[in-house]
Structures are given as C-alpha cells and as structure tokens.
Amino acid sequence: MNKRSVYWILIMILSQNFVFAQQEPNILGRIGIEANFSDLIMDWVEKIGVSVLILFVFWVLAIVIRKIIRKAGNATGIDSSVVNLLARMANVGLWIVGIVTALGTVGINVSAIVASLGLTGFAVGFALKDSISNLLSGVLILIYRPFRVGQWISVKSFEGFVMAIDLRYTSLEQGDERILVPNSLLFTNPISIRTKSETGN
C-alpha cells in the first residue's frame, strides 16, 4: 500500500468522525426530548390516576352520607321531603368539592373556579332570595312542626285549616277556598293555632 492510499484512508476516517461529531448533538437532543416527553406522559398518567381515585372516594363518600342522612331522618321522624333535600344538598356539595380537588391534583389552577362558583352562588342566591327564604322556612317548619295538618291557623290576613305543608308553601282551606301561604310568612309572623274542635266545625 502506497502513501497516497494511506492518506485517502485517513481522510475518510477523519471525515466520518467529523460527520458523527456534527450529528451527535442532534441525536442526543432527540434522545433527551423523547425522555422528557416520556416523563411528561408518565407524570400526566399518574396525576389522572390520582384524580380518578379522588373522584371515586368522593363518590363513595356521597353514597354513605346520603344513607346516613336518610337513616337519621327516618329515625327522628323528619319529613321525607326535608330528608331528601338535605341528602341532595350533601351529594351536590361533596361532588363539587371532589371535582375541584381532582382538578387541582391534575395541576389546574382552581382558585379562579372557586371564585367563579362563589360569585355565581352569590348572584343566584340574590336573584332567588325569596324562593330560598321560603325553602329554608319550609325546612324549619317541617323539622320543628309548630302546627300540623288538620289544625286551624291564622297568620296576618290568612286563616284556615292546614291541608298540606311542603317546602315552599303551606296550603290552607277555608270553606271552598284554598290558600297557598308562603312559608317565610308563617315563619316570621305570629301564628294563632286552633284545633278543629276549638273552631266548632
């Protein structure tokens, strides 16, 4: 082998090494990107798994709380409509807390969501304040039972026999007339109560 051939072989080896040296950063960069992407996927899978677990825990907790409320309501003799309302409110409240917690676990900033929920609740509460007042008054009337079905009551300009009590209204009957009295009116005003025997009917 002559010197010229040796020179050509050396030149080819050096050129290949130079090309590899130029490509090496790109290769290592691609490997690093793939590793980072894989870590990112694993991180998201882990967060989603934890979020699903949190939702499952709150789902089970909501079922247990509903059963406890219904059992306690039946044991104390509270009206079934009040018990169902309390159970639904507890269920919705737990689901909201669970969803917000799960979103926070994923990495979503939940402060804006909580603030929006607070503002929405305030706006809805202000718009429905009369209905909410009737509802809460109905709940308290059904729990404390200041009067019962069949009794004659008089409040302000309304009077008659109590025919039914629900969460929003109390139904009175006087002769052929049926009157729906808002529960908030009954809860915030003095009530005169008489039995059927006292009315002479």
Digit-by-digit pLDDT tens for the chain (201 residues) are: 444 554 454 455 445 554 444 444 554 455 555 556 676 777 777 878 888 898 899 999 989 998 898 888 888 777 777 888 888 888 888 988 888 888 888 777 777 777 777 788 778 777 777 778 888 888 888 888 888 888 899 988 888 999 988 888 899 998 888 889 998 888 888 888 876 555 555
Q: Answer for the pair 167, 182: CB distance below 8 angstroms, yes or no.
A: no
User: Is 136 inside a domain boundary?
Assistant: no
* Res 56: pLDDT: 92
80 shares its domain with 163: no
HSE on the CB side for 96, CA within 13 Å?
12
What pTM did the predictor assign? Answer: 0.58
- Choosing from 97, 127, 157, the residue where a domain stops is 127
Q: What is the CATH number of the domain that holds 187?
A: 2.30.30
Q: Is the dihedral of CA 192, 195, 199, 201 positive or negative?
A: positive
At 167, give phi and psi (nearest 5°). Answer: -70, -25
101 shares its domain with 19: yes
* Res 27: pLDDT: 47
Q: Encoding tokens for residue 67?
A: 């059963």
Q: Is the dihedral of CA 154, 158, 162, 165 positive or negative?
A: negative
CA dist 142 and 32 (Å) reads 67
Structural domain span for residue 162: 149-199
